[in-house]
Structure 1
Amino acid sequence: MTLRSGAGVTGWAALRWLGGRWFTGRGPDGFSLLPVPIASALHMRQQRGTQVTQERISPRDLTVHEGVVLTTAVRSVFQGMRAASTDLDAAIVAEMAMFNDLVSRDELTRYVLAHGRFHGIARARSCLACLDENSWSPQEVRMRWIWLAAELPRPLCNTPVFTRDGHLVGVPDLLDEEAGLIGEYDGAHHLDVAQRRRDIQREAEFRRLGLEYVTMVAGEDPARVADRLRAARARCAHRAPSARAWSLEPPSWWIQTDSVVARRELYGTRHEHRLGHRRII
């Protein structure tokens, strides 16, 4: 399909084309194919496999990538958030774009606040305060929302934990620093025997340092996960930083990758390999 002036591929399809690993074009069931969303300032006939949204679009919101006309990354995220069926789904769109450094929270916030008259803007606006730039998967976002729905303090995302002498113990999905509570989502690859051995050893090392641990897997009832999180936090030691066997203070050799800005600074340097897990595979 040839796109006319004032129109471009947008949403998940544009973000995938721009390098977004988690934008696969699959529906919630993991099998059905999503239509390719098109944003157009002009009337366009909807063709099979596409979903056209007609609304105003500035030339600044269009770009050409590998010969395909797309809306810019921030506009594509904006489109995906507004089209999401829930606030959680909207947050996943934004955070998975941030995973590949396609947009920062500040860039997205400025864009959303500057485009307040678009359909679905309330959904995009309502998610801004809760977004985190360091979520590594959609399921981590879902677990964090369960955590917050359980009325527990907001956890840190993928923050490295070290021993007091500066050795890396691991990077848990979620961490309540005050209580000493770790939350981990185990996907299908954790069923591999070798991976399972590593997971068990890793959990044992965290527990040896006095950290409590909760694991979530696919398909669990959110209410049950919330109950486990609350019960685990009640068991936590809540030790002062000076009394902990672990630390969040990174040693001098550690390279920070916890924000979009920090990661963008690594591209083209000898530390770029630290971002390898974020590429499309």
Structure 2
Amino acid sequence: MTVPGLPEVFRGTVAVASGLVTPDLLRGPQFARVLPDTYVRAELCPPDLRLRSLAAYAWAGPGAILCGYSAAELLGASCAPRDAPAEVAVTAVRAGPRSRAGVVRVRRDLLHPDDITELGGLRTTGRIRTAFDLARRLPPVEGVVAVDALARGAFAPDLLREFAARHPGLRGVRKVLDAVCWADARSGSPPETRLRLILVRAGLPWPVPQHPVVDGRNEILWLDLAYPAALLGVEYDGGGHFATPEAARADARRHTRLVAEGWRVLRYTAQDMRRAPGRIVAEVRHALGPTHRDAAQRAGKIHNSR
């Protein structure tokens, strides 16, 4: 149902007072209540993280600031699990909204004005503050995933060292510094970061994320991860590769063009990464061979020293 003037997420009392809906209509099947007095249109359910975040923002009231995974989502740096709760920071220490398990996590953080940005009328923590918060709260791998996603095309991960130095008393600062050591803003997606970490944390050389290969038609083919000296690519195979017959054919043509340029490409799925990380490491190590492995290792040391 579309009601003129009604946003995706709205407070029920405000919509009724404005004459956009009636109380009976609000209680009907056309709308779904996601938080107290906070509704979305039923056709938008189940709400994704973006919509849950908008609902949390409307529900939390004046002074609310989207943070954590919610801020990352609104900033275009999606890196959260599918069922992650919305996250919102409020200034009140004791009063105000409380967390609701599985739906919204309320944080009572002190935020400097420079830590906050505005997006379409919504206040969120900025990219660096969001990366800092996620890296210090998440498990190590997912902390690096968040830093990569937020840094991509926006800032050098090393800036988090300076930010951490200004907040030495906050819990988890050491985790942020560790995440910076493994981060790479060139990563193309969260699964690619996870795949890279499987390799480098097992002692393999650091691959080049998003490596361009110019083919015989003078067109660029991008590899998720690459060891250029060995002409070896390592790629994440997501569902999009085979979403349609045309996508599958395009993927096959791309692979053929890479092979024609002398590249070998190892491809892994999310299931491979979850269940067989050791096999991935063994296969990449074997494919590199001792000569190329040593050369790539030296290149990785140069990268890590920058």
Matched to 2:211, the amino acid is: T
Work out which structure has the larger RCO, using CA pairs closer than 8 Å and 6 or more positions apart in sequence. 1
Matched to 1:112, the amino acid is: A
Number of the residue aligned with 1:8: 65
Task: Say which of 161, 166, 169 aligns to 1:117.
Answer: 169
Number of the residue aligned with 2:74: 17
Task: Say which of 87, 108, 131 aligns to 2:140.
Answer: 87
Tell me if the contact between 1:38 and 1:50 (Cα under 8 Å) persists in the aligned partners: no
Tell me if the contact between 1:179 and 1:233 (Cα under 8 Å) persists in the aligned partners: yes
Q: Deviations 1:33-52 (Å, cap 9, x if unpaired)?
A: 42324264733441433222
What is the CA–CA distance in structure 1 between the aligned matches of 2:189 and 2:177, rounded to whole Å?
A: 22
Q: Deviations 1:58-99 (Å, cap 9, x if unpaired)?
A: 232233332223222211221111121x21100111111123
What is the 5 A alignment of 1:49-88? Answer: 49-84=103-138, 86-88=139-141
Number of the residue aligned with 1:128: 180
Tell me if the contact between 2:91 and 2:108 (Cα under 8 Å) persists in the aligned partners: yes
Task: Say which of 195, 202, 208 aligns to 1:156.
Answer: 208
Structure 2: 5+ residue runs without aligned partners?
1-58, 296-306
CA RMSD of aligned residues (A): 2.7
Q: Deviations 1:163-198 (Å, cap 9, x if unpaired)?
A: 5x8823511000112222110111001123222222
Tell me if the contact between 1:181 and 1:236 (Cα under 8 Å) persists in the aligned partners: no
Q: Deviations 1:7-60 (Å, cap 9, x if unpaired)?
A: 62211112222333x24x6x3xx3x34232426473344143322233432232
What is the CA–CA distance in structure 1 between the aligned matches of 2:256 and 2:171, rounded to whole Å?
A: 49
What is the CA–CA distance in structure 2 between the aligned matches of 1:193 and 1:232, rounded to whole Å?
A: 30
What is the CA–CA distance in structure 2 between the aligned matches of 1:173 and 1:203, rounded to whole Å?
A: 13
Matched to 1:185, the amino acid is: Y
What is the CA–CA distance in structure 2 between the aligned matches of 1:89 and 1:41, rounded to whole Å?
A: 29
What is the CA–CA distance in structure 2 between the aligned matches of 1:90 and 1:33, rounded to whole Å?
A: 14
Task: Say which of 217, 220, 227 aligns to 1:176.
Answer: 227
The structure having more radius of gyration, on CA atoms, is 2
Following superposition, the deviation at residue 236 of structure 1 comes to 8.5
Number of the residue aligned with 1:218: 270
Tell me if the contact between 2:214 and 2:220 (Cα under 8 Å) persists in the aligned partners: yes
Greater helix percent: which structure? 2
Structure 1: 5+ residue runs without aligned partners?
241-281
Does residue 1:233 correspond to 2:288, yes or no? yes
What is the CA–CA distance in structure 1 between the aligned matches of 2:111 and 2:193, rounded to whole Å?
A: 30
Matched to 1:209, the amino acid is: E
What is the CA–CA distance in structure 2 between the aligned matches of 1:188 and 1:68, rounded to whole Å?
A: 32
Following superposition, the deviation at residue 237 of structure 1 comes to 7.4
What is the CA–CA distance in structure 2 between the aligned matches of 1:128 and 1:237, rounded to whole Å?
A: 26
Calculate percent identity across the aligned residue pairs. Answer: 23
Tell me if the contact between 2:160 and 2:176 (Cα under 8 Å) persists in the aligned partners: no
Does residue 1:96 correspond to 2:153, yes or no? no
